[in-house]
Chains A and B, each alone.
Chain A
Amino acid sequence: ETGVTQTPRHLVMGMTNKKSLKCEQHLGHNAMYWYKQSAKKPLELMFVYSLEERVENNSVPSRFSPECPNSSHLFLHLHTLQPEDSALYLCASSQERGDTQYFGPGTRLTVL
């Protein structure tokens, strides 16, 4: 498998649930990103990891918790989310931070 993959593609969860989004890149990149895409808003950068170290957290609520166990995998752990957190969550990777980014297909999250 090539490129950037994300699982699950769709997720419906209640406000009290705990779930995780997974991203895997097969490109040998060293930087990975989480974005949130809501309707009619520009993509919002949430987190940046470079060489497995979190280098940026854009004032994201603590109910979103990222994890990067190695340079190929990135997780976004979710707990006690709000309905306004419903969105498309996109993962991306780049060779190094600042290089051209390649995106995964996204996870469509619905919080009931």
Chain B
Amino acid sequence: AQTVTQSQPEMSVQEAETVTLSCTYDTSESDYYLFWYKQPPSRQMILVIRQEAYKQQNATENRFSVNFQKAAKSFSLKISDSQLGDAAMYFCAYRSGRYGGSQGNLIFGKGTKLSVKP
């Protein structure tokens, strides 16, 4: 079974600085998808970024980028020019590339709480 591990329960960053959140996963599959979701205090789970495992290029969305290391099964999220609004819980998630049965389900890590200091 696949697992997702976020080893940093809490992180802190100074406003305007850069922070990297770690995520590792375990799978025997070669085709899969990885996600970072953000959950601010409002509790709305928001999709931040998505990475297809077959793509070597790291995904980027404005100030958010990932460092996808397939061999190492690592999927870290880098937030550049951190803003106060970035303060939230960040969840890493895995989904199989297969669509049958429960294989299409998301598997989440426990999350990392990010604080942004003004």
What residues of chain A have their CB less than 8 Å away from a CB belonging to chain B?
40-43, 45, 48, 56, 88, 90, 92, 96-98, 100-106, 108
Q: Is B42 an interface position by the 8 A CB rule?
A: yes
- Using Cβ atoms and an 8 Å threshold, which residues of chain B touch A98? 95, 99, 103-104
Question: Provided the pairs A41-B110, A42-B108 are in contact, do residues A97 and B45 lie with their beta carbons within 8 angstroms?
Answer: no
Q: Assess A90 versus B45: contact at CB under 8 Å? Given A42-B109, A42-B110.
A: yes
Residues facing A in B31-74 (CB within 8 A) are: 33, 35, 37, 42-47, 50
- Rounded to whole Å, the gap between the CB of A82 and the closest CB of chain B is 22
Q: Is the CB of B46 within 8 A of A103?
A: yes
Q: Quick one: given A97-B99, A100-B35, A100-B50, are A45 and B105 in contact (CB under 8 Å)?
A: yes
Query: Is chain A's interface secondary structure helix, strand, loop, or mixed overall?
Result: loop
Q: How far is the CA of A104 from the CA of B47 in the complex (A)?
A: 11
Residues of A with C-beta under 8 A to B101:
56
Most-contacted residue by chain A among B47, B50, B105 (CB, 10 A):
B105
Chain B residues with Cβ under 8 A from A97's Cβ?
A: 99, 104
C-alpha gap A26/B50 in the complex (Å): 22
**Other contacts beyond A56-B105, A98-B95, A103-B45: 6, CB < 8 A:** A42-B4, A42-B110, A43-B91, A100-B47, A103-B44, A106-B44
B28, CB-defined interface residue at 8 Å: no
Q: Which residues of B contact A104 (CB under 8 A)?
A: 44
